[in-house]
Amino acid sequence: MTYQNQITTMQGLIAGNGAPWNAIDAESAARMKLQNRFQSGLDIARYTAKIMRDDMAAYDADPAAYTQSLGCWHGFIGQQKMISIKKHFGTTKGRYLYLSGWMIAALRSEFGPLPDQSMHEKTSVPALIEELYTFLRQADARELGGMFRELDKAREAGDEVEAKRLEHAIDNYETHVVPIIADIDAGFGNAEATYLLAKKMIEAGACAIQIENQVSDEKQCGHQDGKVTVPHEDFLAKIRAIRYAFLELGVDDGVIVARTDSLGAGLTKQIAFTKEPGDLGDQYNAFLDCDEVAANELGNGDVLISREGKLLRPKRLPSNLYQFSAGTGEDRCVLDCITSLQNGADLLWIETEKPHIGQIGGMVDRIREVIPNAKLVYNNSPSFNWTLNFRQQVYDAWEADGKDVSAFERDRLMSVDYDSTELAAEADERIRTFQKDAAAQAGIFHHLITLPTYHTAALSTDNLAKRYFGEEGMLGYVKQVQRREIREGIACVKHQNMAGSDIGDDHKEYFAGEAALKAAGEDNTMNQFEAA
């Protein structure tokens, strides 16, 4: 509905209610409605699910159409990210938000900072989704409010061309609201617990939920040791639980991201249930590290399985966990991915130990032999030492090609001594094109960085503290923060406006007319930045 149609609709509504509504201004009401396009989290989930589905189809047609996101741990951080994207690129297309369980554990738990082991309150996940969308919706209201004020100025000046341009811009306004891929960890319990939490996350606005195949009460960060996986049927029950949650709430296009940690997980808590040779449980158990035993070799409390007429004793640790055979991680990953896609998942996430396109692509090729349109969400993780990894990849490639690498020590390639070398330059170029190359060669539809704003907050705060509390004093803030905000066009330099003071002024005027006591008068110090 166009801006003018919104006004006309409001005029009819007001007229239909007679004298009691005569004090309501139709255009003001239309503006407020446009500023609050999304009435609920479910509205957002349905809207953003369609965006993701369209983007997935576009990627299937052309791998250059991959998507990206950054992990955000606060609504303000997510809001500023999307404002920045619109400022620099003119559109939010292909850019999402990622909600990291790691950052919730580290930054949003009432217990204080925690490791990524699902010890944080499960309700903090939907709470952050709701917070992120609250800030994104406020970004819409703020930007549209500015456009409405510009429209009023154009009308007052009698500039009909500018007024029409602004009305057209309002009619075609692109929201800051984008898909969130939200981390449900390992589901925080059994399938019923997963379903209940998924509902809360969807109701808060999540259109995409990522779940991993670790044991809930043994969950570890994908880049830590000690990961314990579950049999396929346990994981598939949770995938089904999430799908039921999406369908129950009317988000029929909801997206499920199935993450496998099998590549780095050497343990399982359970021996899978199996009925016949070759079924899914039997395939899972085939990866167990077992010793063949005879009946007279049994020890007290031994657990045995029978396979192909042989009696096998799985290797069990004092923790009562069972060990997989060494070198089976990739095969387990491939089977995890295929079964997940065959049982309701839409996208895959393979947590790897390094960002290596060949390794990722090799697994995707195997998966695509069974599921031709399989595609990944991939963690461009800050847990990787990107500089060292890619310098070593270049070193290994040069060595394989017979190029002289005697000037380099492979284990020391992180050193600043190599920063100006041809090897370092080639490594940096590979890092620069990693996302594009991996999208084309390794089936990666969505690239994300899980924890970037955790690191940027630490780095910027360290820089400010060093300067402000040192000899630079106030110049440390002015030169490194405010002056750069002004010159780089960072909207937050007008922090009162960013926090909603102009939106509040608009409402005061709507509600009280000339009697409104507005904050944006001539004594507002934010006016010092009008010439910025």
Q: What is the pTM of this model?
A: 0.93
In this prediction, residue 263 carries a pLDDT of: 87
pLDDT in tens, 74-119: 999 999 999 999 999 999 999 999 999 999 999 999 999 987 778 8
In this prediction, residue 308 carries a pLDDT of: 86
Contact residues for 237 (Cβ-Cβ < 8 A; gap 6+): 191
> Among candidates 13, 184, 499, which has minimal Cα distance to 520?
499
Residues of the chain short of pLDDT 50, as ranges, are 222
Q: Measured between alpha carbons, how far is 237 from 229 in angstroms, rounded to an integer?
A: 14
> Among candidates 251, 269, 258, 261, which has minimal Cα distance to 236?
258
In this prediction, residue 216 carries a pLDDT of: 76
pLDDT in tens, 425-436: 999 999 999 999
In this prediction, residue 519 carries a pLDDT of: 66
Phi, psi torsion values for 448, nearest 5 degrees: -135, 160
In this prediction, residue 220 carries a pLDDT of: 59
In this prediction, residue 223 carries a pLDDT of: 56
To the query of whether residue 492 is one of the catalytic residues in this protein, the response is: no
Catalytic residue among 221, 290, 333, 337: 221
> Sign (positive/negative) of CA torsion 399, 401, 402, 406?
negative
DSSP string, 251-301: -TT-EEEEEE-TTT--EES-PPP-SSTTSHHHHHHTTB-EEE--GGG--TT
Element (H, E) at 449: strand 444-449
In this prediction, residue 47 carries a pLDDT of: 98
CB atoms within 10 A of CB 256: 24
DSSP 410: G
